[in-house]
Amino acid sequence: MKTLDPLAGPIAPGVLSKKEHELRTAFLEEIERIPGGGRLNQCIQCGTCTASCPVSHAMDITPRQVIGMFRAGAIEELLESRTIWLCASCYHCTLRCPAQIQITDLFYALKRIAIEEGIFPKRFPVHVMSETFTNNVKRYGRNYEVGLLLTYFLKTKPIGLFRQRNAGIALLRHGRIKLRPDKIKGIEQLRKIIAKAETFDLPQEKVTKEKVTAAVGYESIGR
Amino acid sequence: MDKRYTYYPGCSLHATGIAYDKSMRAVFDKLGSELAELEDWNCCGATAYMSVQKTVAFAVSARNLALAERTGDDVVAPCSACYYALKHTREGMGEDPELRAQVDEALAAGGLATDLTVAVRHPLEVLLTDIGIPQLIEAQTHSLEEFRPACYYGCQIVRPFGAVDEDPELPMSMENLFTALGARPVDYPPKVRCCGGMLVATMPEVATDLSMDLVDWAIANEANCIVTVCPLCQSNLDLINVTKGSNGKSHQIPVLYFTQLIGLAIGCTPEEVGMQHALIPPDAKAPRLRSAQDRGAPLTIAGTREG
């Protein structure tokens, strides 16, 4: 369990580090377009999200703490935690949140910022799975389970392949493993669509550099 | 009846979820509804694409909606993640004009366009609403009385969009359906819990605990099979059958798709519904199930319908 350093966030009350300010701006931009994203300031820190989360026991920072840390100006620290990468997108927190905060979608927004900024937890390369997945789609148009898992394990933890051998053999014996990827006919068309869509996802002009101070807490998220 | 649907199988149904694909086709065929596979469909993006790039995730998924509009039939997506991704794309583009303009522009780069007119539906809801329980009972040839399924819904067909209009914390549609077909569903409190999803690859120790808990709960409540609606749930739970528990206890139970069970009830053969792909076939652990599979078994619908 990671111990949280209360001083790692704002450098002084009401003042954020430059990096933190950048992350905050990027995050606010991302969540602005999530329906209900601005409801973040309605969080009453009740912990229903954490209690509903099937994997909160394995997290170093709980979902409730994620929102608390965001408010306290410690996004960088929460991106270094395993939390967002442990989310299995089951949407239980979103369903139950009494303030109707779209927690799962906020986590997606945080994952995108983490990938864009290259901030990841140490020795926890789960984001490689998402990136391998998207590469597969660009290559074939469809996801190829065997290729996805092989690439992921070879890139991250080859030992994982050995550990999962029973599963692989069982699936193979029951005709459930496809040995060759399907490639769609319209792959060029799909690539054009992706290339165009990517122009909207490129990092925007993020921050006005001279302004590195920002209010911490409710004021800054009250949009 | 005789309705046509655009079938979006998704990547899993061509591989680990092949039994779902077979049983979907067999059941719709038997019921006289046409399932026309969406031509040249691409990956829905699942949960992974949304973690990397937002507009691209929507655009990748929207290509399928655009292709489906050529026939205009409702899209039926059996995989929970596909159902969610396609539906999320449709709803998200409908709600956000800026996003819609961007996705439209991306689609136009590929010579496509969408006006978001096709509905995205899950087969459970299609079978319950368009076909309906009375119609299924009429089509029934074999009783499911030997089946005591634990009906497992998982996550993305109940949350955040409910595929079937019911309590998202306590769905009962499968229980009602299978009770009507003569089965005796067991009480299964963790029915909407998470199976671990993709964590089975990225954090296997966490995912295995979640899946094993679901399997143990079904066994403890004396179910003789688990019924799922999603290829990832099915393979995660089915793989517990070949995973040794830490306490050396056996955690074995057949894990079936709801369409396989319906198929057996309406006279499809076990092969037709892909029973051979289950890691534990139902009759290995529950010999009494065979009577339901014997062709020509007496109809025992009357008297088992309520329960």
Q: Inter-chain contact B56–A90, Cβ cutoff 8 Å? A: no
Q: Provide the residue ranges of all domains of chain B, joining segments of one domain with +.
A: 4-121, 132-293
The pLDDT of residue A19 is 83
The pLDDT of residue A178 is 87
Four-residue CA torsion sign, A93, B166, B100, B118: positive
**Mean per-residue pLDDT, A77-103:** 93
Assigned CATH for B4-121: 1.20.1050.140
The whole-angstrom separation of Cα A87 and Cα A54 is 9
Q: Over the stretch A153-184, which tens digit does the pLDDT of each residue have?
A: 888 888 888 888 888 899 999 999 988 888 99
Instruction: Judge whether B55 is closer than 8 Å to chain A, CB to CB.
Output: yes
The pLDDT of residue A202 is 66
Which percentage of chain B shows pLDDT scores above 70?
A: 89
Asked if B300 and B59 count as a contact pair (C-beta separation under 8 A), the reply is no
Q: Over the stretch A23-44, which tens digit does the pLDDT of each residue have?
A: 888 888 777 777 667 788 889 9
Lowest mean pLDDT across A1-5, A213-217, B8-12: A213-217
Q: Distance (Å) from the C-alpha of residue B145 to the closest C-alpha of chain A?
A: 27
Closest CA to B305 of B186, B166, B191, B138: B138
The whole-angstrom separation of Cα B241 and Cα B252 is 5
Helix (H) or strand (E) run with residue A192 in it: helix A187-201
Q: Distance (Å) from the C-alpha of residue B73 to the closest C-alpha of chain A?
A: 21
At residue B6, what are phi and psi to the nearest 5 degrees? -90, 120
Q: Distance (Å) from the C-alpha of residue B186 to the closest C-alpha of chain A?
A: 23
Q: In chain B, which among 141-160 make CB contacts under 8 A with chain A?
A: 154-156, 159-160
In this complex, the residue of A163, A170, A201 whose CB is nearest that of residue B53 is A201
Which residue in A has a C-alpha nearest to residue B205's C-alpha?
A: A58
At residue B5, what are phi and psi to the nearest 5 degrees? -130, 150
Q: Provide the residue ranges of all domains of chain A, joining segments of one domain with +.
A: 18-123+209-221, 127-201
Q: Over the stretch B197-226, which tens digit does the pLDDT of each residue have?
A: 989 888 888 999 999 999 999 999 999 999
**Coil, helix or strand at residue A12:** strand
pLDDT of residue B227 exceeding 70: yes
Which residue in B has a C-alpha nearest to residue A110's C-alpha?
A: B51
pLDDT of residue B68 exceeding 50: yes
The pLDDT of residue A25 is 82
If DSSP states are collapsed to H, E and C, what string results for chain B? CCCEEEECCCHHHHCCCHHHHHHHHHHHHHCCCEEEECCCCCCCCHHHHHHHCHHHHHHHHHHHHHHHCCCCCCEECCCHHHHHHHHHHHHHHHHCHHHHHHHHHHHHHCCCCCCCCCCEECHHHHHHHHHCHHHHHHHCCCCCCCCCEEECCCCCCCCCCCCCCCCCCCCCHHHHHHHHCCCCCCCCCCCCCCCCCCHHHHCHHHHHHHHHHHHHHHHHCCCCEEEECCHHHHHHHHHHCCCCCCCCCCCCCCEEEHHHHHHHHCCCCCCCCCHHHCCCCHHHHCHHHHHHHCCCCCCCCCCCCCC
Thinking of the domain A18-123+209-221, which architecture would CATH place it in?
Orthogonal Bundle (1.10)
Q: Over the stretch B34-50, which tens digit does the pLDDT of each residue have?
A: 999 999 999 999 888 99
Residue A9: band (very low, low, confident or very high) from pLDDT cuts 50, 70, 90: low
**Mean per-residue pLDDT, A186-214:** 71
Tokens representing residue A118 in the block: 């290259």
Which CATH class, in words, describes the domain spanning B132-293?
alpha beta
Higher pLDDT among residues A205 and A103, named by residue:
A103
Whether omega before B160 lies within 30 degrees of 0, making that bond cis, reads: yes
